A and B are shown apart, each in its own frame.
With several copies, the nearest count.
Chain A
């Protein structure tokens, strides 16, 4: 597929850019943050996002979604990155929707996908257990119990875990810690007995929660996919997350870069604009190149997911690895070139740096994703 947006996609991009700039700019982010809002996002905004087709971006039209696909989801995420907009987009519309699409039965799809698309159902993926992303490390157990399973374990860094109406929990039904075989995904009611959820305040003011499962009884019908074969579903959901986070980080990088270039054109020092200093010009020019590289890998990763390309995992890791490094560079350079005011909470550039850092850790940094892509390529 050509590495350009087609007309429909260009329209999605324009409408997403316009929407988030108007409806959820950084001032909205600050308001939620400073009020220590218990939900962590604006439910009215999420409703509007559903009306725009954003919540159902991956949901086929037959299930009430807009079916824009991953390229569409990435464009929405990019606009979210540009505006630091808060919403359950990643957890519900991307991670959970992908898991359901890949692994759900017809009944599960019919039950959940339309509600995701309409903005009425929030979901969260509870997979990570280690602080550094290691998805095959699943120590949470699912032991046979009655006509179902009993879950025990602790999940950390569960995005939107504290507001989710339904959790997707990765637990081990067989095999040893580290094995990919033997992992099973379960749809778990967060209000079920034995589930306790605590929100964790994060540096980027986004929602993450610790989920403790203590003898939580689930039914056989709550299994997503097949028992012991959850890994492929989990991988695909995480790859969707990686590619869409790369897109969000692209928005973060591009916005930080543009803000910084604007600052270089307006800030006076030593009687001239600081953008006239060649050392800063070269750094800005280099950063321009890096942002463009991030844009290319991100688009390829999103397209690969849409096409079912068998290298989709490689491209997702490539985009996540490169996108993360570029976002680090763009936000670090942004703060440094803003000087002292870049360090103040009053200016936005620091908010972008915080988000870049958190997005970089989520679903693996360059160490994880670089290693993964090399292994997938046989070295």
Chain B
């Protein structure tokens, strides 16, 4: 490692030592302790707020964004050092945000200089919490068929319509939203990418109850919402390009989730719940199913590793990355099914006296959405067939 990088590491370590509150170095015990920031966020403690504010001020919530936009301006190597130092002290994430994950990358690529200067620092500092307005009740996989309209009224757009599956819409400050600005052209060509305040008159939300119980998802309604015209990102009618860019981004993220060291855990769970006989899980048939799953899960994890290593080596990974979402989510569903089988009647609990009762069944049910949200498995198979295998259109 270069001297400069070593220097950066020791400075970082010292800064973190001084600025990361002790409480933020303890493991997070529930979803509720996640920091999302925003105007109305209820911090669980002063430490949580301090941690977000300090990291935000340094731009280290978004280490690789340019300093001019509120980022840390770090190089890839420096960002890696920061990340390893954060892991070293087991620091919690200072800020989770659709702004960081989704809108930021879109603005960096498609936004005007003004937009970047205005919105990105707010995201970096956790001042504005964003939600994403893509899906509509009728659109499903055919996202481009969306019907929420944004009518050009000279100085503003008048937005009318309805979104669905808007995560945390009831808690978000602003929304980045796909709207139809031109209903007269082919469906992919009349879409624009619009930003607006959720506090605008005419915006309302309603939570969605899932089969797994309460959810962060909402229905979001727009009734004559006025949006200043400068809030449009990129070129009017070219919003679909931004959407596609973000969807690919999202697919890779979702496909990459939920693998971790689950591998290890499934066999352990089975050993604990079912017991070992002569060193092997006592239920031979279930053991066979577990082994087959573990083989696939391991092969998938190695494929993820290979994709990363291939990218690092500067080789193209387009063909490989397209499969991650499909295979990863299907595997995770299978994993949850198996964990339910291992759990038997314990897995069927919906709630109970002990902490964790009901987690398995709800997790299982929630996993069924993995292959639907962010592009269904069917859509992903279509994409592989078309873009990777170049099979003719049906």
Whether the complex brings A and B within 8 Å at their CB atoms is answered yes
A294 within 8 A of partner (CB) = yes
Whether A296 touches B306, Cβ cut-off 8 Å, given contacts A264-B391, A276-B391, is yes
Contact among A203, A261, A378 with B361 in the assembled complex (CB-CB below 8 Å) = A203
Point out which of B135, B140, B377 has the most chain A C-beta atoms below 10 A from its C-beta: B140
B326 within 8 A of partner (CB) = yes
Interface bracket on A: 35 or more
**Contact B302–A288 (Cβ < 8 Å):** no
Whether A202 touches B287, Cβ cut-off 8 Å, given contacts A2-B312, A343-B210, is no
Give a binary string over B328-371; 1 marks a CB under 8 Å from any A CB, 0 the rest: 00000100010011111111111110000010010011001101
**Contact B303–A293 (Cβ < 8 Å):** yes
A207 within 8 A of partner (CB) = no
**Contact B381–A281 (Cβ < 8 Å):** yes
Q: How far is the CA of A344 from the CA of B164 in the complex (A)?
A: 11
A353 within 8 A of partner (CB) = yes
Contact stretch, chosen from A42-50, A113-121, A163-171, A357-365: A357-365
What's the least CB distance linking A156 to chain B, in Å? 6
B211 within 8 A of partner (CB) = yes
What's the least CB distance linking A255 to chain B, in Å? 15
**Contact B326–A4 (Cβ < 8 Å):** no
A293 / chain B contacts, CB cutoff of 8 Å: 296, 299-300, 302-303, 327
What's the least CB distance linking B47 to chain A, in Å? 36
Q: How far is the CA of A345 from the CA of B207 in the complex (A)?
A: 12
Say whether chain B's binding surface is mostly helix, strand, loop, or mixed.
helix
B320 / chain A contacts, CB cutoff of 8 Å: 292
Q: How far is the CA of A374 from the CA of B276 in the complex (A)?
A: 12
What's the least CB distance linking A327 to chain B, in Å? 13
Q: How far is the CA of A133 from the CA of B368 in the complex (A)?
A: 25
Whether A289 touches B327, Cβ cut-off 8 Å, given contacts A131-B273, A264-B391, A375-B279, is yes
B108 within 8 A of partner (CB) = no
B247 within 8 A of partner (CB) = no
Q: How far is the CA of A300 from the CA of B303 in the complex (A)?
A: 10
Given A208-B345, A268-B138, 8 other A-B contacts at CB below 8 A?
A: A131-B347, A269-B141, A281-B386, A285-B382, A293-B327, A345-B209, A353-B365, A361-B347
A residues with CB within 8 A of B: 2-4, 128, 130-133, 156-157, 200-205, 208, 261, 264-265, 267-273, 275-282, 284-286, 288-289, 292-297, 299-300, 318, 321-322, 328, 332, 335-336, 339-340, 342-346, 350-351, 353-354, 357-358, 361-362, 365-368, 370-371, 373-375, 377-379
